[in-house]
Structure 1
C-alpha cells in the first residue's frame, strides 16, 4: 500500500474511532453524554477522487445522488471503506448535489463499499448539517 493510501486508511480509522467513541461513551450519571453534547452520532465527509472531483454515489432505491458519507467500517488490508450515504437537501428541502446549496444532510440505510485506490483526499464536514431542520415560514 502506498504512503498516501496508508494515510487515507489511518485517517478514516480515526474518524471511525471518534464516531464509535461518541456512540459508545456512557456516563454513569449522564448516559450518552457525548451524543447529547455533539448532537449527532455521525461525522460527515466527502471524498475527493484521483481525478480531482468529489466521489458521487447513487442510491438505487430512494433514487438520489450524493457526495456525502458516514463511515461504517474500514478494511485496512484491502484498503477499502464501507460508507452509508447521506442524503443532501437544499434550503427548500429538495435533493441537491451542489455543495454550495447543501443546508442539511440526512442519514440513510444505504451502504456502499469504496476502494481507496481511487481516492486522493478526505474532507470533513460540519456535523451541524445533520441537526438542521428546514423551516420555511410564509412570507405574509
Structure 2
C-alpha cells in the first residue's frame, strides 16, 4: 500500500495573515460597517499584535523610532500586519516597540508592560515563517497609573 504526503502550494501562514488583517481592519472601524464602527469605539485599539516563529526562534527585527526629539533604535519580536502580498508570498509588517513599566524600551520580553506602534516597517518572506502567535490587544492600551496621594 502506498501513502501520499499532502503538500500545499500556498503557505498557510499567508491565510492566517490575511485573516488577521481582516480582523484588524474591523478594529480600525470601517465607516460603512455598523459593527466595525462600534467595535472601534468600544476597544479604542486598531492593532492585533503578534509574534512570528521561524525554524529555531522568534523572528527578531530592528527598527528606529523618534521619542522626545531623539532617534532611538530598538529590537523587537512584536509586529502589526500592514499588507499581505499573495503573489510574492511576502507580508509588510510594522514593528511594535516593547515598553517596560518605567516607559523605557524593554530589553527583555519578561520586562514588557505594553506595546507601542511605530512607523518602522519591513517586508518579510512568509516562506521562512513556521507559526504565528497573536497577543492580547490590551498590550497596546496606555495605562495611566495615578499616585494614590
TM bin, normalised by shorter chain, reads 0.7 to 0.9
What CA RMSD, in Å, does the superposition of the two structures yield over aligned residues? 2.6
Q: TM-score, normalised by structure 2?
A: 0.80
Given that 1:66 and 1:97 are in contact with CA atoms closer than 8 Å, whether structure 2 keeps it comes out as: no
The total of aligned residue pairs comes to 137
Q: State yes or no: 1:32 paired with 2:27.
A: no
Given that 1:26 and 1:33 are in contact with CA atoms closer than 8 Å, whether structure 2 keeps it comes out as: no
- Per-residue CA deviation, residues 5-30 of structure 1 (Å, 9 max, x unaligned), is 62100000000011112224337889
Query: Match for residue 56 of structure 1?
Result: 60
Q: Secondary structure at the match of 1:3?
A: coil
Q: Which runs of 5+ in 1 are unaligned?
A: none
Structural mapping, 1:1-140, within 5 Å: 3=8, 6-26=11-31, 32-51=37-56, 53-60=57-64, 62-133=72-143, 135=145, 137=147
Larger Rg, first or second structure (1 or 2)? 2
Query: Match for residue 3 of structure 2?
Result: none
Task: Tell me which stretches of 4 or more aligned residues in structure 1 moved more than 4 Å.
Answer: 27-31
